[in-house]
Amino acid sequence: MKKLYGELKRWGCDVDGALERVVGDDELYMDCLRSIARDEAFFALGDALRAGDRERAFYCAHTLKGVLANLGLIPIYDIVVRIVEPLRAEETDGVLAEYEKLLESRGRLEKMVESAVN
């Protein structure tokens, strides 16, 4: 776990803050990281964006934003903010490009978590 925590910190994640929120429970934090890395909301967001369903896209992005913030996953959170705010203003310009960056970051997180587990 220390290796993963180090990688996350170097990436810009607030691991210490997240661990405080889970009362230092490493196992719970790992479970949360595994869960968010595979969360269907990432893909539901893409489906909603491609379908032009701004309301559903906003809901998915806003949900991800909260979870990512609580888990201290700041690099991914920052991307989601660049999706949430335009959707809040009922704008979609540039949102799909940010979504692609979001998927890349999600994939990076998933690889980090999987390598820590295996």
pLDDT band at 16 (very low <50, low <70, confident <90, very high): very high
Alpha-carbon distance of 118 to 105, in angstroms, equals: 20
| Long-range contacts of the stretch 78-84 (C-beta < 8 A, 24+) | 79/105, 83/45, 83/57, 84/58
Domain with 81 in it: 1-115
How many folded domains does the chain comprise?
1
Segment 45-56, tens digit of pLDDT: 999 999 999 999
Q: Is a pLDDT exceeding 90 seen at residue 117? A: no
Q: Which CATH number do you get for residue 58?
A: 1.20.120
Alpha-carbon distance of 17 to 93, in angstroms, equals: 33
| 105, 111, 113, 115: CA torsion to nearest 10 | -160
Please give the backbone phi and psi of residue 40, each rounded to the nearest 5 degrees, phi first.
-65, -20
- pTM of this prediction? 0.94
Average pLDDT of every residue of the chain? 96
Segment 70-106, tens digit of pLDDT: 999 999 999 999 999 999 999 999 999 999 999 999 9
Helix (H, G, I), strand (E, B) or coil at 14: coil
* pLDDT given for residue 36 in this prediction: 97
* pLDDT given for residue 17 in this prediction: 98
pLDDT band at 11 (very low <50, low <70, confident <90, very high): very high
